[in-house]
Amino acid sequence: MVDAPSERSTNGMAEVVFRTERLSKIYDMGEVQVHALREIDLALYRSELVVLLGASGSGKSTLVNILGGLDTATSGRVLYRDQDLTRADDRDLTQYRRRYVGFVFQFYNLIPSLTARENVAIVTEIADDPLPPEEALDLMGLGDRLNSFPSQLSGGQQQRVAIARAIAKQPAVLLCDEPTGALDSATGVVVLEAIERVNRELGTTTMVITHNVAQAEMADRVIRLSDGRISDIAVNETKTPARDLTW
Amino acid sequence: MRALNQKLLRDSWRMRGQLLAIVLVVVAGMATFVGMRGVMHALQETQASYYAAYRFADGFANVRRAPERVAQQLRTVPGISDVETRVRASATVDIPGFDEPVTATIQSVPDGRAPRLNQLFIREGRRVKPGRDDEVLVNEVFAEAHSLQQGDTFTVTIRGQQQRLTVVGIALSPEVVIQVQPGGLFPDRERFGVLWMGRSALAAANDMTGAFNNVSFSLAPGASLDDVLSRIDLILDRFGGTGAIGRADQASHSLLELEFEQLRGTSTVLPLVFLLVAAFLLNIVVARLVNLQREQIAMLKAFGYSDLEVGAHYIQLVLGVVTAGAVLGVAAGLWIGQAMGQLYLDFFRFPSLAYTFEWLVALTAFLLTAGASLAGVIGAVARAVRLPPAEAMRPAAPPTFKPTAIERIGLQRFFDQPTRMILRNLERQPVKSALTVTGMAAATAILVLGLFFTDAVDYLIEVQFGIIQREDLTVTFTEPTSPQALYEMTSLEGVTYAEPFRAVPVRLHHEHRTQDTSLEGIPPAPYLRRIVNTALQPIPIPEEGIVLSDRLARTLQVAPGDYIQVEVREGARRTHRVPVAGLAEQFVGVGAYMDVEALYRLIGEGPALSGVFLMTDADDTAALQQAILDRPRVAGVVSQDRAVEGFEETSAENLLVFTFILSLFAGVIAFGVIYNSARITLSERERELASLRVLGFTRAEISYILIGEMTLLTLLALPLGFALGAVGAAGVLAALETDLYQIPFALSRATFATAAAVVMASAVVSAIIIRRKLHTLDLIAVLKTRE
């Protein structure tokens, strides 16, 4: 151990994708102020798979939303490579999300009136160098459900369409907010395997939010949040493949 | 943007019922706009080119008898560019096979040349040959009414002399685009006709050789009509001129302008209402769609779609609906315009109607609709895209409810839970509820507006012909006649009562305001032609002073007790200062009345009659009318029953078509508003209703919650719609008021009942559709979706 864990990539050469400096987020709820994030200092490296652990209300969704350009910080800085997201206006954030970020949400957020293929196409159509929707869906094992509507798919299948949609644009980062939150454990494993495969085969920097401690074993690094602060950062010397996870 | 377009198509398909309802409202608006504007444009263009090509005169004057050399004097009047003298005769016509009396105005056409002014369009046949005294041209509507063709013959009586005439052609003239008999209110194409004969032949028959009794003239560019009219009056005065008039006072032209005025009003107000309703419907439908799709919007934004792209997506939906409505509406409008054009061509006789498609009209309508709709929708879309994606991803907070005002004042014990749900829902969304009520009220008001005209005309006929004009026949003399004529008329078989009148052309002055009218001298306590006050009570004619119709008094801005100047425009042409003795309610014409003895003193002449009103009990009215017409100096007989019948015949068809179209469109609006409003309520509360079903509510019980809300809204909307319709009707009537008519304000219970029935029928249809949807509510699926 030469460097502090937080300063070093698990893949050897440290190429920083995200860096936050004293990042804080305060929600003004009228009479009370809620400190969702308190002076977070953090770096994320290229191609690593990070699991963000924390109880409900610990600030993990807020952090991911700020990293993904969906929300803005109250104070501090967020850098995506050299780009200062805290200084970006709405138009810049839109462009940032469009080029670099792939999202996977807890409730899939598919468009019910579009088929699986079309739900992916709606994102690839505005991307610079996307995978064909069919290829992305094939990667998720859904090559035979291209023309199914969300209502005709199971929850796990819907979440894999959502992952296909997120990765088809070949994003620089994949942000997954409780991707298995609405799924049973068997289906959840299938979804995590899909995320793991994207991280491994496409080399996409990936952050998975969960409150499920068991899922931390698949990560390169595990970041624990509690009460808006980073309470612990741990490096997994040996990662457990997603298919071996149980909870 | 292929996938996004795909989404647009599928979303639209899912909402097809609602969108179709809106498309139909847009169609209604576009169709009325394009149709009515188009037909108005076509009529005006046709009128202008017809007037120009056939040299319709700028002014006219009648004179008792002026030598032809006076024409030369008239030509030297500054401002006049051309003068045409004519002989005009009143005649009775004996059409073989038609046993009722028929009168005609016969106009002369120059021998051997085309008229310089008011040229004839020969539809069939040829002109009359110079010098022939047995050839006649017949106005088209009159020819059609009697199936007259080239070669047919009939007999006319001019100044007591019979003459057999052969029809050589069917003609139209810019002077008689609408053919109305002198003194008549409504066209009666069977019993009155306009004919044309050669000048020398007609002059010989009417004792006008070397003279004329009618002149028309055209103005030089920039000339002042008023100057020219007063100079003509000066010249014609000593030949018995009765006052020159401009085009605006010419019977056919003024009726045409009146109709254009009506059309202009309706073609603006009506489509505007439709388009506003369409905009309102699009607004509520898109606002709801945006609400339902807030998570989809958030997702699109999370993946980098810009606000503009997301906004454009919903705007496209609006434009799609408007475009579909516009295309269908323009097509329907062209059809309506052409159909209306054909109806009008039967009423207004032009050589042909130049109906062309006006791109500009269609484009204006499209831009209006699109503009109004976008204005209604842009707020909802802007709110949706302004929402930060992280926030939009979270489901909207449950709406806040509270007990309603009715419950707060302690009435809740009268309501069961479902009724409380209805009331709270209405109160929580006051804007939506108010808009729905307004939309339905607009539909009700359109129906009232479409139907009230019949009420008003019925009332007009009832008052004018039941209370004011109680005579059966009106006889007019060719010139003022000895009072002896009254006794001659009374002695005719079948006449039970006769009442004389003396009419004098006058110009009334008060301060700088003037009005030309006919001053009628009548007996102090008239029995047949009565003068009534605003309460429709007959009023006696005072010994001194003048009684003015209410509208005339308003024009002159005088009240009883004021003095006005009465300039008599025949005979000695004296001007007198006369007190206004009273006001009379009168829907037709701008009448002025005096005691007949006072009138004789005013004009400084002895007793003489212009005509006689008759009450008859004759079984054979036709024979009586013929007997009257056979007497010398009788210019014409108008039968009141015939006049009313004639009017009802001509207007019934037009009104029926118009009312039908309007009811159809108003039904579309009512349906569009109610159905959309109910669908939205259904989708907002599907979960809630399904939960109630799971808890053991029956289908009927949950239907009550939705349909009860619809019923309540409909019941609120009806009285509001009645009030709006009444206000609109009063506005339309005020806009239509002219010198010629004032249509009284009257609304019958039948009109309100019909309007309510159409709106309620639309509500019932919507309720049935909604109830079917409620029956297919998927309980499990609804409960499984997250909230």
In this complex, do A165 and B304 lie within 8 Å of one another by their Cβ atoms?
no
Model pTM score: 0.72
Which of the given ranges, A234-238, B97-101, B368-372, has the highest pLDDT on average? A234-238
CB B317 within 8 A of CB B419: no
CA distance B174 to B50: 7
Indicate if B198 and B289 belong to the same structural domain: no
Do the domain assignments include residue A38?
A: no
Q: Containing domain of residue A235, as a range?
A: 46-70+97-244
Do the domain assignments include residue B259?
A: yes
Sign of CA dihedral B414, B418, B421, B426: negative
Indicate if B293 and B156 belong to the same structural domain: no
The continuous run of DSSP H or E covering B226 comes out as: helix B225-236
Do the domain assignments include residue B210?
A: yes
Indicate if B204 and B289 belong to the same structural domain: no
At residue A3 the predicted structure's pLDDT band, cuts being 50, 70 and 90, is very low
Sheet architecture: strand order including A49-54: A101-104, A173-177, A205-210, A49-54, A221-226, A229-235
In this complex, do A109 and B3 lie within 8 Å of one another by their Cβ atoms?
no
Q: What's the first-to-final CA gap in chain A, in angstroms?
A: 32
Do the domain assignments include residue B74?
A: yes
Indicate if B83 and B228 belong to the same structural domain: yes
- The owner of tokens 């068991």 is A214
> Number of folded domains in chain A?
1
In this complex, do B307 and A90 lie within 8 Å of one another by their Cβ atoms?
yes
* Mean pLDDT of the region B2-17: 87
pLDDT score, position B773: 83
Count other Cβ atoms within 10 Å, centred on residue A22: 13
Do the domain assignments include residue A17?
A: no
Cβ-Cβ contacts under 8 Å, B298 against chain A:
109
Considering B561, B592, B617, which residue would you say is the last residue of a domain? B617
Do the domain assignments include residue A20?
A: no
Cβ-Cβ contacts under 8 Å, A166 against chain B:
303
Residue A11 has pLDDT above 80, yes or no: no
In this complex, do B302 and A165 lie within 8 Å of one another by their Cβ atoms?
no
Indicate if B237 and B331 belong to the same structural domain: no
Indicate if B324 and B391 belong to the same structural domain: yes
CA distance to partner chain B, nearest, from residue A98 (Å): 4
The string of pLDDT tens digits covering residues A142-184 is 999 999 988 889 888 998 999 999 989 889 999 998 898 888 8
Q: Containing domain of residue B215, as a range?
A: 59-252
At residue B593 the predicted structure's pLDDT band, cuts being 50, 70 and 90, is very high
Residue B249 has pLDDT above 60, yes or no: yes
Considering B597, B617, B637, which residue would you say is the last residue of a domain? B617
**Residue to substitute from A61, A71, A109, interface B, most B β-carbons within 10 A:** A109
Query: Could you tell me the two tokens for B531?
Result: 């003068």
pLDDT score, position B443: 83
Cβ-Cβ contacts under 8 Å, B1 against chain A:
125
At residue B660 the predicted structure's pLDDT band, cuts being 50, 70 and 90, is confident
Indicate if B81 and B33 belong to the same structural domain: no
B397 or B332, which is more confident: B332
Residue B123 has pLDDT above 60, yes or no: yes
In this complex, do A94 and B304 lie within 8 Å of one another by their Cβ atoms?
yes
Q: Tell me the β-bridge partners of B61.
A: B215
pLDDT score, position B400: 60
Mean pLDDT, chain B, whole residue set:
84
What 3-state DSSP class applies to B135? strand
Considering B593, B617, B641, which residue would you say is the last residue of a domain? B617
- Which candidate from B4, B7, B390 shows the least CB-CB separation from A71? B390
Cβ-Cβ contacts under 8 Å, B300 against chain A:
122
A132 or B439, which is more confident: A132
Count other Cβ atoms within 10 Å, centred on residue B560: 13
The string of pLDDT tens digits covering residues B47-93 is 999 999 999 999 999 998 999 999 999 999 999 999 999 999 988 89
The string of pLDDT tens digits covering residues B555-586 is 899 999 999 999 988 777 788 999 999 898 88
Do the domain assignments include residue A147?
A: yes
Indicate if B224 and B299 belong to the same structural domain: no
Do the domain assignments include residue A1?
A: no
CA torsion, ordered B505, B507, B508, B514, to nearest 10 deg: 140
Q: Which of A52-56, A66-70, B165-169, B419-423 has the lowest mean pLDDT?
A: B419-423
Do the domain assignments include residue B248?
A: yes
> Number of folded domains in chain B?
3
pLDDT score, position B393: 63
* Mean pLDDT of the region B713-722: 92
Do the domain assignments include residue B321?
A: yes
CATH number of the domain bearing residue A223: 3.40.50.300
Indicate if B53 and B130 belong to the same structural domain: no
- Which candidate from B2, B296, B299 shows the least CB-CB separation from A125? B2
Indicate if B370 and B389 belong to the same structural domain: yes
Do the domain assignments include residue A18?
A: no
pLDDT score, position B402: 61
Indicate if B504 and B606 belong to the same structural domain: yes
CA distance to partner chain B, nearest, from residue A243 (Å): 28
B433 or B274, which is more confident: B433
Do the domain assignments include residue B659?
A: no
Residue B191 has pLDDT above 50, yes or no: yes
Residue of B nearest to A99 (CA): B304
Residue B644 has pLDDT above 90, yes or no: no
Do the domain assignments include residue A85?
A: no
**Residue to substitute from B303, B307, B683, interface A, most A β-carbons within 10 A:** B303
pLDDT score, position B397: 55
In this complex, do A70 and B390 lie within 8 Å of one another by their Cβ atoms?
yes
Cβ-Cβ contacts under 8 Å, A99 against chain B:
304
Is B132 in the A-facing interface, judged by CB distances under 8 Å? no
Do the domain assignments include residue A192?
A: yes
Cβ-Cβ contacts under 8 Å, A126 against chain B:
303-305, 309
CA distances to A39, A146, A160, A215 from A189, rounded to whole Å, are 33, 22, 11, 9
Residue B787 has pLDDT above 60, yes or no: no
ipTM: 0.76
CA distance B523 to A122: 89
Report helix, strand and coil shares of chain B as percent, to nearest 5: 55, 20, 25
pLDDT score, position A8: 42
At residue B1 the predicted structure's pLDDT band, cuts being 50, 70 and 90, is low
Indicate if B72 and B213 belong to the same structural domain: yes
Is B343 in the A-facing interface, judged by CB distances under 8 Å? no
CB B219 within 8 A of CB B80: yes
Q: Angle at CA B329, nearest 5°, toward B325 and B333?
A: 175
CB B651 within 8 A of CB B457: yes
